[in-house]
């Protein structure tokens, strides 16, 4: 059972290709991360799933209904797209009430979602007085109004302080535990790593990865960082390990980073002992999602924006 | 549909709309009556108006239906304000990003747009009512200040007032629909208002000067005739029919544009 299924989903904006032949299937329930550098096509995908823009070609289904008929599924979907948008002069409660009325929901639902995002007590204040974090919480409250099966949140922790981020993480986990599917778009990979079970990586409108986070993490380069008891032995240790065929690098902290998985620690220890060197520490290190992402995409955000700018410049000239 | 109207009414119930739209309407009503008392009271021929303003003769103002002459004289000014507020409320949804929320909450875009039209129509009716009420208070005072005999004003009061309200309301509604169309096409309140006001003040004057044959068909002339209950060149029935035509045309364009265009903002 999939919550979202796309086949060859493509969207062009004039000569710019925002998404190209995206084919994926996302499982129901759990938290799904939608990751990609800025301009990768995440928002375009979300807008298409919400019926805000139409695909140039390809098909997609949300909750087993085609995106060409959003009326059949949007009453079961809640969404926060980009920055939360509200009427600034109206109170949080009135803003939510207007959305509840639009969806034909009772006023009691507004009370419930205000409690979920902890805005009771501030709900009578005009939204223009809200901090970005509070607006973000109000945006999530608006997304929760229809008690959705599927929740799509675009950068939900934007502007939140650390405690707010932890709160939102907890909220997302609670929603997923309650059987909902939560799709979280973000360019903060560390954030995604802690929250998501499943991951979709997009770059330049192309699908780079679609699968469980754990599968992706196993692709990470595993290393063991070791340190000799006496710093003067580090060079000799490096020579010993290199002679045995280990790939070794110096770390900025003065230790040695050996390409090895955690089960090979004993081999490293024996190699050091053979040279009369005692190891002071041995720490297995697994590559982060960020490192894996950069390896997969071959670039960071800055490189990406630079490439886009260069392409635009070529087009103009 | 009722849900969409109720939702939109709640969203448009904000200070900027209420104070701005109602405030300008009250201001124009007071101003037009005061100015009219001075310029009409001193001449038997219709004095020159100005952009968007046409004055009655002294005889017309002193007639039984003259008490509401201020409303029809300033109808284009009220109309531009109505166009502006319909445009601001509509285009504001795009500039604020609110349209993303509302369109995903109500995927039936026809219903969503008709909800907005319904709510703005109710606000327009309220504005027309306020204009009429304020006019009833100001016009006698203005006439007294110019020592004019307006003893005929009490005759046939109900049909006179009902007719004036209806004509003003329909005029404002058509102006509003024009604002709605411009806002949906341009997705910018500033551009919509500039185009709307520019058309009334400049473009239509140039068109009618250059092409005399279409002078009786243009929106500005039609709506002015509608507000006056018909003129010698555009009878009331024609003005009503043309107003209905412009409204149908405008709503058709608005619905087509709103339904088909992507929401990318």
Q: What is the pLDDT of residues B77-102, one digit of tens each?
A: 888 889 999 999 999 888 888 888 89
Structure tokens at A275: 């040279």
Phi, psi of B212 (to 5 degrees): -60, -30
In a shared domain, residues A162 and A244: no
In a shared domain, residues A209 and A249: no
Q: In A, which residues are within 8 Å of B16 by CB distance?
A: 89
Q: How confident is the model at residue A96 (pLDDT cuts 50, 70, 90)?
A: very high
In a shared domain, residues A208 and A271: no
pTM, two decimal places: 0.79
Q: Residue A89, SS3? A: coil
pLDDT at B42: 64
pLDDT at B153: 83
Give the CATH number for residue A238: 3.30.70.100
Q: Residue A149, SS3? A: coil
**A132 close contact with B: CB closer than 8 A:** no
In a shared domain, residues A173 and A232: no
In a shared domain, residues A61 and A195: yes
User: What's the pLDDT tens digit per position in A133-158?
Assistant: 888 889 999 999 999 999 999 888 87
Range of the domain at A11: 2-217
pLDDT at A312: 42
pLDDT at A316: 38
Q: Assess if residue A267 is contained within a domain.
A: yes
CB contact under 8 A, A101 and B7: yes
pLDDT at B52: 61
pLDDT at A134: 84
Q: Assess if residue A260 is contained within a domain.
A: yes
What would the mean pLDDT of A80-96 be, rounded to a whole number? Answer: 88
The alpha carbon dihedral of B202, B205, B208, B209 has a sign of negative
Give 10-residue mean pLDDT values along chain B (265 residues).
Answer: 88 82 90 82 61 72 80 85 92 88 89 94 94 91 80 81 91 93 91 87 79 77 83 86 91 91 78
pLDDT at A299: 55
* DSSP class of B56: P
Is the ipTM of this structure higher than 0.85? no
Q: Assess if residue A302 is contained within a domain.
A: no
CB B207 within 8 Å of CB B214: yes
Q: Assess if residue A315 is contained within a domain.
A: no
In a shared domain, residues A130 and A250: no
Q: Assess if residue A301 is contained within a domain.
A: no
Q: Assess if residue A306 is contained within a domain.
A: no
Higher-pLDDT residue of A187, A104: A104
Q: How many domains does chain A have?
A: 2
Q: What is chain A's mean pLDDT, rounded?
A: 84
Q: In B, which residues are within 8 Å of A81 by CB distance?
A: 97, 100-101, 104
Q: In A, which residues are within 8 Å of B97 by CB distance?
A: 81-83, 85
Give, in order, the Cα–Cα distances in Å from A255 to each of A147, A260, B150, B193, B250: 52, 15, 101, 68, 74
Taking alpha carbons only, the member of A45, A46, A35, A23 closest to residue A293 is A35
Last residue in a domain, options A217, A248, A274: A217
* A residues 38-67 lying closer than 8 A (beta carbon) to B: 47, 50-54
In a shared domain, residues A237 and A205: no
* pLDDT tops 50 at residue A315: no
Percent of chain A with pLDDT over 90: 34
The residue count for chain B: 265
Taking alpha carbons only, the member of B27, B26, B67, B32 closest to residue B50 is B32
Structure tokens at A279: 């190891």
In a shared domain, residues A122 and A143: yes
CB contact under 8 A, B7 and A102: yes
In a shared domain, residues A164 and A43: yes
Task: Give residue ranges of B with CB < 8 Å to any A CB.
Answer: 3-4, 6-8, 10-11, 13-16, 96-98, 100-108, 112, 115, 262-264
Helix segments in chain B, DSSP class H: 2-12, 15-17, 23-40, 58-62, 69-73, 75-96, 98-105, 109-145, 157-186, 189-198, 204-210, 219-227, 236-260
* pLDDT tops 80 at residue A252: yes
* pLDDT tops 50 at residue A307: no
What would the mean pLDDT of A190-210 be, rounded to a whole number? Answer: 85
């Amino acid at each position: 059972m999939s919550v979202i299924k796309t086949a060859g989903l493509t969207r062009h904006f004039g000569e710019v290709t925002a998404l190209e032949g995206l084919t994926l299937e996302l499982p129901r329930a759990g938290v799904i991360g939608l990751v990609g550098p800025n301009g990768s096509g995440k928002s375009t995908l979300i807008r298409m799933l919400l019926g805000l823009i139409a695909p140039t070609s390809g098909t997609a289904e949300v909750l087993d209904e085609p995106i060409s008929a959003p009326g059949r599924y949007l009453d079961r979907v809640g969404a926060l797209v980009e920055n939360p948008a509200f009427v600034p002069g109206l109170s949080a409660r009135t803003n939510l009430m207007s959305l509840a009325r639009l969806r034909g929901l009772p006023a009691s639902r507004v009370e419930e979602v205000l409690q979920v995002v902890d805005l009771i007590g501030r709900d009578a204040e005009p939204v223009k007085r809200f901090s970005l974090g509070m607006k973000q919480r109000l945006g999530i409250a608006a997304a929760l109004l229809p008690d959705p099966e599927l929740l799509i949140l675009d950068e939900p922790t934007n502007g939140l302080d650390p405690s707010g981020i932890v709160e939102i993480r907890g909220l997302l986990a609670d929603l997923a535990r309650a059987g909902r599917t939560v799709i979280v778009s973000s360019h903060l990979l560390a954030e995604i790593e802690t929250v998501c079970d499943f991951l979709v990586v997009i770059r330049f409108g192309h699908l780079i990865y679609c699968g469980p986070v754990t599968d992706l993490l196993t692709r990470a380069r595993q290393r063991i960082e070791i340190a000799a008891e006496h710093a003067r032995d580090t060079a000799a240790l490096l020579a010993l390990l290199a002679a045995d065929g280990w790939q070794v690098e110096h770390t900025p902290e003065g230790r040695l980073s050996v390409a090895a998985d955690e089960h090979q620690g004993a081999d490293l220890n024996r190699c050091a002992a053979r040279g009369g060197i005692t190891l002071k520490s041995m720490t297995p290190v697994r590559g982060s999602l960020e490192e894996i992402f950069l390896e997969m995409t071959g670039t960071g955000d800055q490189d990406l924006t630079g490439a886009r700018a260069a392409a635009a410049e070529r087009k103009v000239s | 549909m009722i849900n969409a109207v109720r939702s939109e009414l709640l969203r448009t119930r904000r200070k900027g709309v209420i104070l701005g739209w109602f405030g300008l309407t009250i201001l124009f009503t007071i101003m037009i009556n005061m100015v009219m008392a001075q310029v009409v009271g001193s001449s038997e021929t219709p004095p020159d108006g100005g952009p968007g303003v046409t004055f009655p003769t002294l005889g017309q103002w002193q007639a039984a239906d003259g008490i509401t002459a201020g409303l029809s004289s300033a109808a284009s000014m009220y109309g531009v304000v109505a166009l502006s507020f319909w445009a601001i409320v509509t285009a504001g949804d795009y500039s604020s990003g609110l349209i993303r929320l509302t369109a995903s909450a109500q995927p039936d875009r026809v219903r969503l747009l008709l909800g907005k039209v319904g709510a703005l129509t109710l606000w327009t009716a309220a504005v027309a009512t306020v204009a009429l009420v304020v006019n009833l208070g100001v016009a006698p005072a203005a006439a007294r200040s110019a020592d004019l005999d307006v003893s005929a004003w009490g005759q046939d009061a109900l049909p006179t007032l009902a007719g004036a309200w209806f004509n003003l309301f329909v005029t404002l509604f058509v102006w509003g629909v024009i604002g709605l169309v411009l806002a949906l096409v341009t997705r910018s309140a500033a551009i919509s208002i500039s185009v709307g006001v520019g058309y009334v003040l400049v473009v239509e004057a140039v068109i009618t000067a250059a092409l005399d044959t279409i002078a009786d068909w243009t929106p500005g002339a039609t709506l002015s005739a509608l507000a006056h209950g018909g003129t010698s060149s555009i009878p009331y029935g024609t003005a009503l029919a043309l107003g209905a035509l412009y409204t149908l045309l405008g709503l058709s364009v608005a619905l087509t544009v709103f339904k088909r265009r992507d929401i990318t903002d």
